[in-house]
């Protein structure tokens, strides 16, 4: 599954400025799509915004392609402005290994 397709759906949402999708380790599914999202100015990270983004993705994507986790954060970038996905993957691997969650992280299961 290409992250490009998922990122394209995410940035269509009016609250999303930028997004990067990476695989997040999952004990049941091996890995699930997780989106790191930067919100547009004036929108603050909240449960309501996460629910709206999950809903938007649910309507636009097949069930097996849906994003299962969202974290609102500034995206790490290289000097040339590319998103450092390797840094996001390492952060996510470490968090899942220790059981931590991001400060503004939401799981799709919380909204079911």
Phi and psi torsions of 111, nearest 5°: -110, 5
pLDDT cut 90: percent of the chain above it = 81
What pLDDT is stored for residue 49 in this prediction?
A: 97
pLDDT, tens only, 44-81: 999 999 999 999 999 999 999 999 999 999 999 999 99
Q: Catalogue the E-assigned strands of the chain.
A: 16-26, 30-39, 69-72, 105-107
Select from 64, 30, 45 the least CA-distant residue to 105. Answer: 45
Q: Per-residue confidence at 105, pLDDT binned at 50, 70, 90?
A: very high
Unique residue bearing structure tokens 């931590």 = 100
What pLDDT is stored for residue 83 in this prediction?
A: 95
Check: pTM over 0.75? Answer yes or no. Answer: yes
What pLDDT is stored for residue 112 in this prediction?
A: 67
How far apart, in Å, do the first and last CA atoms of the chain sit? Answer: 23
What are the extents of the domains in the chain? 3-111
Select 3-111's CATH number: 3.40.190.80, 1.10.3720.10, 3.40.50.970, 3.30.300.30.
3.30.300.30
């Amino acid at each position: 599954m290409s992250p490009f397709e998922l990122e394209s759906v995410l940035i269509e949402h009016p609250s999303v400025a930028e997004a990067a999708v990476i695989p997040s380790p999952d004990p049941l599914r091996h890995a699930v799509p997780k989106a790191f999202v930067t919100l547009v100015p004036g929108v603050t990270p909240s449960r309501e915004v996460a629910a709206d983004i999950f809903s938007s993705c649910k309507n636009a994507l097949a069930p097996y392609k849906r994003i299962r986790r969202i974290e609102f954060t500034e995206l790490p970038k290289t000097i040339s402005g590319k998103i450092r996905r390797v840094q996001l993957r390492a952060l996510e691997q470490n968090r899942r290994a220790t059981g931590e969650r991001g400060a503004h992280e939401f799981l799709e299961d919380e909204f079911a």
